[in-house]
């Protein structure tokens, strides 16, 4: 009952919110029972293949279960049916070996054809490198400077049931992957830590992201739209919380997005030289902490005993600044779960989050770290 209200609430909230880009999107489709037809040729072929095999199975099932139910109904002792004693017939055994084999061969032909299509990654118009991290995705547009992380944007409060859930609960990110429609896009898929799998059902692309390997896959999206997926390989604690959102747009919109990206990169570089106030850093730091650190170290900075160390009162966050910088920028030497954030975050964000960690959760170091300090630390290495 409560849940029904929650969902109603979420829908209302979403339809009322004017700024939300996703507001006009359809309410979530409930009781979905089948694979999506998809928006690429490969996805549609896969769907047809799936339905073909499904119906073949249904026909076989109806025949076999039909005979079975018929004899369960007719050939029962309570109706006085006398058992026949026939058994062993090589001819019958041969028939029910050969017919299924023929059906299998008929199934294998279209399957093989589709597989060859899926494996043809040649002649791509655009290459995108996808890297799985615990628990986010990184997208690099090969041949350009564009590179960013894509994190879950559903707030923790919704996950913990303190707030009504968005319609796209757990399937929304801060930065979607933006791609042009009607272009062949090649994905180069790898991982930084453990194995992940990049899966978007509407594109029928699912490929494991494996550290040390680069897997290839491709797509050509026919219709503009927002397509959502999730990590499909158990990758640790927040495996269920690393969604994928692909935004397919017409060529001109894609171009505009690219230009905007380049401009904001320039702006970011300028900001690196700026000196911020403590408050500015603290506020930005809290944002960065929530999206990058809170999954392990927890929103209250207390960590998880025996698994993830606390930030509150920790030796590193309340010790010498250089050790703290080293831990955040280069990661832990002993615990691979603590990644090197030097390449994942901008200098501004690193400065902000370190300032935040040293002054939040009861830590009272009182120091501020500026983006320039981060740059200097990196250059010294």
Partner 1 sequence: MAHGPQPGLKRWLYTTNHKDIGTLYLWFSFAMFFLGGCMALIIRAELFEPGLQIVQPEFFNQMTTMHGLIMVFGAVMPAFVGLANWMIPMMIGAPDMALPRMNNWSFWILPFGFAMLASTLFMEGGAPNFGWTFYAPLSTEYAPPSVTFFIFSVHILGASSIMGAINIIATILNMRAPGMTLMKMPLFVWTWLITAYLLIAVMPVLAGVVTMMLMDIHFGTSFFSAAGGGDPVLFQHVFWFFGHPEVYIMILPAFGIISAIIPTFARKPLFGYSSMVYATAAIAFLSLIVWAHHMFTVGMPIAGELFFMYATMLISVPTGVKIFNWVSTMFKGSMTFETPMLFAIAFIILFAIGGFSGLMLAIAPADFQYHDTYFVVAHFHYVLVPGAIFSITAGVYYWLPKWTGNMYNETMGKVHFWMAFVGLNLTFFPMHFVGLAGMPRRIPDYALQFADFNQMASMGAFLFGAAQVVFLFNVVRTVMGGKKASEQVWENPQGLEWTVPSPAPYHTFSTPPILR
Please, which of residues 71-130 interact with partner 1 by CB under 8 A?
71-72, 75-78, 81-89, 92-93, 96-97, 100-101, 104, 107-108, 111-112, 114-116, 118-119
318 vs 332, which CB is nearer to partner 1? 332
> Is 206 in contact with 35 (CB distance < 8 Å)?
no
Does residue 35 interact with partner 1 by CB under 8 A?
Answer: yes
User: Shortest CA distance to 110 belongs to which of 61, 60, 47, 201?
Assistant: 47
Closest CB 149 distance from partner 1, rounded Å: 20
Q: Which of residues 320-339 bind partner 1 (CB under 8 A)?
A: 336-337
CB within 8 A of 146, min separation 6: which ones? 139, 140, 258, 261, 262, 265
Does residue 375 interact with partner 1 by CB under 8 A?
Answer: no
Q: Which of residues 4-33 bind partner 1 (CB under 8 A)?
A: 7, 10, 28-33
50 vs 274, which CB is nearer to partner 1? 50
Does residue 226 interact with partner 1 by CB under 8 A?
Answer: no
DSSP 177: E
Q: Which two tokens stand for residue 14?
A: 């979403």
Interface with partner 1 (CB under 8 A), residue from 201, 224, 303, 331: 201
Does residue 169 interact with partner 1 by CB under 8 A?
Answer: yes
Query: Where does this chain touch partner 1 (CB under 8 A) — which range of 63-71, 141-149, 282-290, 319-327?
Result: 63-71
To the nearest 10°, report the CA torsion of 166, 167, 168, 170: 50
| Phi then psi dihedrals of residue 232, to 5 deg | -115, 20
How far apart CA 362 and CA 380 sit, in angstroms, is 31
CB within 8 A of 121, min separation 6: which ones? 186, 216, 217, 218
Does residue 221 interact with partner 1 by CB under 8 A?
Answer: no
Interaction pattern, residues 278-317, with partner 1; x per rule: CB under 8 A: --------------------------xxxx----------
Query: Where does this chain touch partner 1 (CB under 8 A) — which range of 192-200, 246-254, 321-329, 355-363?
Result: 192-200
Interface with partner 1 (CB under 8 A), residue from 215, 272, 332, 346: 215
> Is 299 in contact with 156 (CB distance < 8 Å)?
yes
Residue whose tokens read 């501004």: 348
């Amino acid at each position: 009952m409560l849940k029904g209200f929650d969902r109603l609430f979420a829908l209302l909230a979403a339809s009322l919110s004017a700024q939300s880009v996703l507001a006009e999107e359809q309410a979530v489709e409930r009781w979905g029972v089948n694979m999506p037809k998809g928006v690429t040729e490969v996805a549609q072929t896969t769907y047809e293949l799936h339905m073909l095999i499904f119906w073949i199975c249904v026909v076989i099932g109806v025949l076999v279960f039909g005979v079975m139910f018929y004899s369960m109904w007719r050939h029962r002792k309570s109706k006085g049916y006398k058992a026949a004693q026939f058994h062993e017939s090589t001819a019958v055994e041969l028939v029910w070996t050969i017919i299924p084999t023929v059906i299998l061969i008929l199934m294998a032909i279209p399957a093989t054809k589709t597989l060859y299509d899926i494996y043809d990654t040649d002649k791509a118009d655009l290459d995108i490198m996808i890297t799985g991290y615990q628990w986010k995705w990184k997208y690099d547009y090969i041949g350009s400077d564009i590179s960013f992380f894509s994190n879950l944007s559903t707030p923790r409060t919704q996950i913990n049931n303190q707030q009504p859930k968005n319609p796209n609960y757990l399937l929304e990110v801060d930065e979607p992957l933006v791609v042009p429609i009607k272009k062949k896009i090649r994905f180069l898929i790898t991982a930084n830590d453990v194995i992940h799998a990049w899966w978007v059902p509407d594109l029928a692309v699912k490929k494991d992201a494996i550290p040390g390997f680069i897997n290839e896959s491709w797509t050509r999206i026919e219709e503009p739209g927002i397509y959502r997926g999730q990590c499909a390989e158990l990758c640790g604690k927040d495996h269920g919380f690393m969604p994928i959102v692909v935004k397919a747009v017409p060529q001109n919109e894609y171009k505009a997005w690219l230009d905007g990206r380049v401009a904001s990169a320039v702006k970011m570089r300028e900001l690196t030289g700026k000196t911020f106030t403590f408050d500015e850093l603290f506020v930005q730091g809290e944002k960065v902490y929530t999206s990058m650190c809170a999954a392990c170290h927890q929103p209250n900075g207390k960590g998880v005993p025996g698994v993830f160390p606390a930030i509150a009162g920790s030796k590193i966050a309340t010790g010498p600044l250089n050790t703290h910088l080293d831990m955040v920028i280069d990661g832990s030497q002993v615990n691979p779960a603590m990644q090197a954030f030097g390449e994942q975050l901008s200098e501004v964000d690193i400065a902000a989050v370190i300032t935040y960690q040293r002054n939040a959760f009861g830590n009272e170091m009182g120091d501020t770290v500026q983006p320039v300090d981060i740059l200097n630390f990196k250059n010294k290495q």
